[in-house]
């Protein structure tokens, strides 16, 4: 195995730049501040709570991840955002209705009021159900991208940040396939100069981040940095990128259950998933073109985990359907129902019903925090390009062309921890365990 890289110190302030200051973004910003002030605990975050086993089981070495690896501390994080809707983080969080106003928002009101969105690169052709006045008026896409680069530099200097990371928490853009404008960095830059509509707003942020040496992750399912031009640019410039689409409610459940059924060689003939949600994200996804982007992201999961071509008798006829229904009364408190038709020994049928009454942004917020700290770690370790070890956090893991993604949550978790062990110069854990019986 190759030698672990030298990791530069985590000291100094880190800008966490969020295109999109909606439900997820405000839940992470408010949550980090609440934890910093000792008002709440960072449940759901591996960087804050998870331990990591090192060496043999008999050695009883299991430090916290943050004690093994030099990660930035929560006190070092400074939040910035862009949004076409001009609400500051307090007003946006109140509107999102995720966190309790009296218990978690009012005590940190001044802090949340101070996080105001910068004018966004926004285009209603890409997000059809929203609009807002807080947007950049520069001419071509290249000029918009240069304005975002300028925002990044100004933010870092105004807040004394030695480095920054960017995580897309903006709305899901309409479905799009990678094309000639996205093929190489040169074609991409020419397309921006030509103001080619094939360059989506999220791609403009991603390009600006990579050019500024700022790691970029995409929490939504739209392409964004997942195109050859931006992959190559990130690789060449040694900037980490990761994506796509935070793995939260229903897909989290799917990637927990499906590997278990497959491990036991139980067949699956049908998996019907339906959701009701009433937040702004639900409203955007009510547009068929944004829904298609999300649907593709959600559908890929079972195909990769169950490998129907390898097990045609078990999974070859699987009928997989995903629906998302906008239902305003529920707000951010989504309900995800799954009906699984499975079969066992001699083909006898069985059913599993899952009814997950979850809170979307409560599941997403710790993912944003962990991604910010791990992307910063990757950058300090000189790990540029696609960060597949972070696929644990995504519904649709970003992998290079020709390499299929790992969707199984437990494989992803092992991969993440083995990457941390490698970075720390510790042995990999294979779970072979012969040494205990020798
Ligand atoms: N559990 C989850 O909540 C979850 C899980 C997976 C993915 N996601 C994705 O994360 C994203 C954010 O989710 P949310 O619930 O916070 O949605 P939200 O609608 O509350 O917030 C999104 C914000 O992005 C802003 N926006 C849209 N286009 C923008 C642009 N070009 N530049 C800057 N801002 C822009 C919108 O104005 C809005 O305020 C969505 O794409 C969603 O699909 C969320």
CA nearest 185: which of 150, 251, 236? 236
Mind listing the pLDDT tens digit for each residue in 275-297? 898 887 778 877 887 777 777 76
Quick one: pLDDT at residue 3? 86
Atom 17, ligand 1: residue with shortest CA distance: 281
The answer to whether 96 and 361 are in contact (CB under 8 A) is yes
Contacting residues for 199 by C-beta, under 8 A, at least 6 apart: 141, 181, 182, 188, 191, 192
Contacting residues for 181 by C-beta, under 8 A, at least 6 apart: 187, 188, 191, 196, 198, 199, 229
Q: How far is the CA of 418 from the centre of ligand 1 (A)?
A: 31
Alpha-carbon distance of 359 to 342, in angstroms, equals 28
Quick one: pLDDT at residue 285? 77
Atom 29, ligand 1: residue with shortest CA distance: 170
Mind listing the pLDDT tens digit for each residue in 166-198? 999 999 998 889 999 999 999 999 999 999 999
| Integer angstrom CA distances of residue 376 from 22, 92, 132, 227 | 23, 27, 31, 22
Candidate of 97, 98, 135, 170 to mutate for ligand 1, largest count of ligand atoms within 8 Å of Cβ:
170
The answer to whether 318 and 302 are in contact (CB under 8 A) is yes
From the CB of residue 49, how many other CB atoms can be counted at a distance below 10 Å? 14
pLDDT surpassing 90 at residue 332 = no
Please, is 21 exposed, middle or buried when counting C-beta atoms within 10 Å of its C-beta (0-12, 13-18, 19+)? buried
Quick one: pLDDT at residue 292? 78
Domains and CATH numbers, the chain: 13-246+362-423 (3.40.50.720), 249-357 (3.30.360.10)
Q: Find the mean pLDDT for residues 234-259.
A: 94
pLDDT surpassing 90 at residue 235 = yes
* Nearest atom (ligand 1) to Cα of 246: 6
Quick one: pLDDT at residue 286? 79
Cis peptide before 244 (omega within 30 of 0): yes
Return the structure tokens found at 438: 């020798």
Q: How far is the CA of 22 from the centre of ligand 1 (A)?
A: 6
Atom 40, ligand 1: residue with shortest CA distance: 171
Q: Find the mean pLDDT for residues 356-379.
A: 96
Candidate of 88, 141, 171, 356 to mutate for ligand 1, largest count of ligand atoms within 8 Å of Cβ:
171
Question: Which residues on neighbouring strands pair with residue 90, listed in sequence order?
Answer: none
Give 6-35 as a DSSP string.
P-----SEEEEEEE--SHHHHHHHHHHHHH
Q: How far is the CA of 286 from the centre of ligand 1 (A)?
A: 13
For the chain, the first-to-last Cα distance in angstroms comes to 25
| Ligand 1, CB cutoff 6 Å, lining residues | 19-25, 82-85, 96, 120-122, 127, 130, 132, 169-172, 201, 219-220, 245-246, 248, 279-281, 284, 360-361, 363-364
Mind listing the pLDDT tens digit for each residue in 31-86? 999 999 999 999 999 999 999 999 999 999 999 999 999 999 999 999 999 999 99
Candidate of 281, 286, 370 to mutate for ligand 1, largest count of ligand atoms within 8 Å of Cβ:
281
Q: Find the mean pLDDT for residues 149-161.
A: 98
Instruction: With cut-offs at 50, 70 and 90, classify the pLDDT of residue 301.
Output: confident
Q: How far is the CA of 141 from the centre of ligand 1 (A)?
A: 21
Give 348-407 as a DSSP string.
-EEEEEEEEE--HHHHHHHHHHHHHHHHHHHHHTT--EE-GGGGGGBSS----TT-PPP-
From the CB of residue 422, how many other CB atoms can be counted at a distance below 10 Å? 17
Candidate of 22, 206, 216, 396 to mutate for ligand 1, largest count of ligand atoms within 8 Å of Cβ:
22
* Nearest atom (ligand 1) to Cα of 84: 37
Q: How far is the CA of 304 from the centre of ligand 1 (A)?
A: 26
Q: Is 80 helix (H, G, I), strand (E, B) or coil?
A: strand
Q: Find the mean pLDDT for residues 337-349.
A: 97
CA angle 303, 308, 310 (to 5 degrees): 125
The answer to whether 174 and 289 are in contact (CB under 8 A) is yes
Q: How far is the CA of 281 from the centre of ligand 1 (A)?
A: 6
For 219-285, where are the alpha helices, taking DSSP H only?
Answer: 228-237, 249-263, 280-285
Q: How far is the CA of 208 from the centre of ligand 1 (A)?
A: 19
CA nearest 331: which of 281, 273, 367? 281
pLDDT surpassing 80 at residue 381 = yes
The answer to whether 256 and 409 are in contact (CB under 8 A) is yes
Give 285-340 as a DSSP string.
HTSHHHHHHHHHHHHHHHHHHH-TTT-HHHHTT-EEEEEEEE-GGGTT--EEEEEE
CA nearest 84: which of 32, 25, 142, 136? 136
Alpha-carbon distance of 192 to 264, in angstroms, equals 50
Quick one: pLDDT at residue 1? 64
State pTM to two decimals. 0.95
Quick one: pLDDT at residue 278? 84
Q: Find the mean pLDDT for residues 351-373.
A: 96
* Nearest atom (ligand 1) to Cα of 364: 1
């Amino acid at each position: 195995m190759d030698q672990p890289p030298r990791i530069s110190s985590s000291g100094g302030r880190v800008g966490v730049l969020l295109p999109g200051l909606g439900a997820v973004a405000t839940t992470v910003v408010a949550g980090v501040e609440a934890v910093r002030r000792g008002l709440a605990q960072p449940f759901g975050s591996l960087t804050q709570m998870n331990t990591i086993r090192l060496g043999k089981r008999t050695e009883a070495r299991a430090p916290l991840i943050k004690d093994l690896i030099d990660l930035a501390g929560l006190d070092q994080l400074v939040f910035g955002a862009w949004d076409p809707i001009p609400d500051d983080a307090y007003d946006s969080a109140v509107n999102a209705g995720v966190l309790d106003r009296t218990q978690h928002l009012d005590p940190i009101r001044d802090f949340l009021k101070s996080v105001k969105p910068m004018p966004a690169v926004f285009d209603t052709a890409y997000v059809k159900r929203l609009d807002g006045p807080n947007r950049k008026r520069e001419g071509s896409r290249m000029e918009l991208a240069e304005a975002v680069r300028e925002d990044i530099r100004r933010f870092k200097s105004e807040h004394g940040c030695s480095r920054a990371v960017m995580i897309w928490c903006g709305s899901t853009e309409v479905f799009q396939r990678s094309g000639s404008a996205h093929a190489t960095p040169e074609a991409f830059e020419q397309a921006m100069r030509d103001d080619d509509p094939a360059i989506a707003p999220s791609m403009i942020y991603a390009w600006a981040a990579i050019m500024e040496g700022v790691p970029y992750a995409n929490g939504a399912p739209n392409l964004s940095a997942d195109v050859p031009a931006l992959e190559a640019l990130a690789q060449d410039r040694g900037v980490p990128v990761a994506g796509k689409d935070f793995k939260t409610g229903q897909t989290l459940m799917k990637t927990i259950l499906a590997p278990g059924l497959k491990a036991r060689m139980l067949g699956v003939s049908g998996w019907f998933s339906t959701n009701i949600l009433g937040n702004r994200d639900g409203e955007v996804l009510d547009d068929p073109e944004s829904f298609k982007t999300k649907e593709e992201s959600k559908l890929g999961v079972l195909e990769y985990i169950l490998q129907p071509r390898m097990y045609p008798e078990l999974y070859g006829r699987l009928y997989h359907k995903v629906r998302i229904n906008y239902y305003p009364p529920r707000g951010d408190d989504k309900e995800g129902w799954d009906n699984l038709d499975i079969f066992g020994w001699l083909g006898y049928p069985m059913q599993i019903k899952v009814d997950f009454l979850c809170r979307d942004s409560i599941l997403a917020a710790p993912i944003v925090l962990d991604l910010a700290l791990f992307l910063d770690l990757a950058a300090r370790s000189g790990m540029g390009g696609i960060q597949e070890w972070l696929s644990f956090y995504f519904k649709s893991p970003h992998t290079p062309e020709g390499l299929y993604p790992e969707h199984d949550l437990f494989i992803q978790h092992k991969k993440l921890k083995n990457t941390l062990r490698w970075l720390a110069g510790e042995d990999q854990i294979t779970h072979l365990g012969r040494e205990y019986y020798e």
